[in-house]
Amino acid sequence: MASVKKGRVGIILIAGGNSSRLGHMKQMVEIEGKTFLRNSFEIAKQLSPFTITILGYNQEKLTSQVEEDKCLFNPNWPIGMGTSIALGVKHYCDNSEDNNKPEIDGVMIMQCDQYRLAMNDYSNLIEVWRKSSKGIVASQYVETGSAVGDEKSTNTSSNKVTIGAPAIFSEFYYDKLLQLKEKGAKALLKQYSKDVEIVKLDDATFDLDTDEDLHTFNLYLEEL
């Protein structure tokens, strides 16, 4: 069972990848006049004063979308998303050793390309985490045309229920998060499933990884 103490949440906004399957930087795709990265960063800041953005590929083009003192460069970004999560957790662990900085009781892993998620979605996750007796709160959604694992499949007849980001991990799991490398934290959600509180969040399925996703996103823009 994870730590009972649940107060301050630190946000780890993941934006370090090179969008290889999409072919161009999804962080800079715009929605209602803001880039994905800027929009997510502004939401994160409103959720918590403790926000850090992890940059990697082509960071020079992305720093203008966030505040300089709230971003870190991950030199290991080519290894995988896990290194970005680990760097964010390390940032909060290092801060907790400074007596002038508050201890963070949990971290929310947030991705900049889940474009349909709004402030209320993230706020609800935080409230559920604070009230839950469990140490992890994670989103549940149906992933259309996906195969087992992190990669999407071209088989559109294959749908599966996914448990993933955005997700909040209590301090109890920091050591596990610090060990992540190639993959994100989904393996931890499976390994410690008895300590996971599930929140149904249908719109979390919409992200931007492929040309097909881009087509879906453009249709969404037409509806706005």
The verdict on pTM exceeding 0.75 is yes
Least confident of 2-6, 49-53, 94-98, 103-107: 2-6
Radius of gyration of the chain (CA): 17
Task: Tell me the two tokens of residue 90.
Answer: 């390390």
E strands in the chain:
9-15, 30-31, 34-35, 51-55, 71-73, 106-111, 136-144, 159-170, 196-200
Q: Between vectors from CA 175 to CA 199 and to CA 112, what angle results, nearest 5°?
A: 45
Q: What are the residue boundaries of the structural domains of the chain, listed by start?
A: 9-223
pLDDT tens track for 38-73:
999 999 999 999 999 999 888 888 899 999 889 999
Q: How far apart are CA 55 and CA 77, in angstroms?
A: 8
| Homologous superfamily (CATH) for 9-223 | Spore Coat Polysaccharide Biosynthesis Protein SpsA; Chain A (3.90.550.10)
Q: How far apart are CA 87 and CA 74, in angstroms?
A: 7
Residue 61's contacts (CB-CB under 8 Å, 6 or more residues apart) are: 25, 28
pLDDT tens track for 116-175:
999 999 999 999 999 999 999 999 999 865 433 343 433 444 678 999 999 999 999 999
Q: Sheet of 136-144: strands edge to edge?
A: 71-73, 51-55, 9-15, 106-111, 159-170, 136-144, 196-200
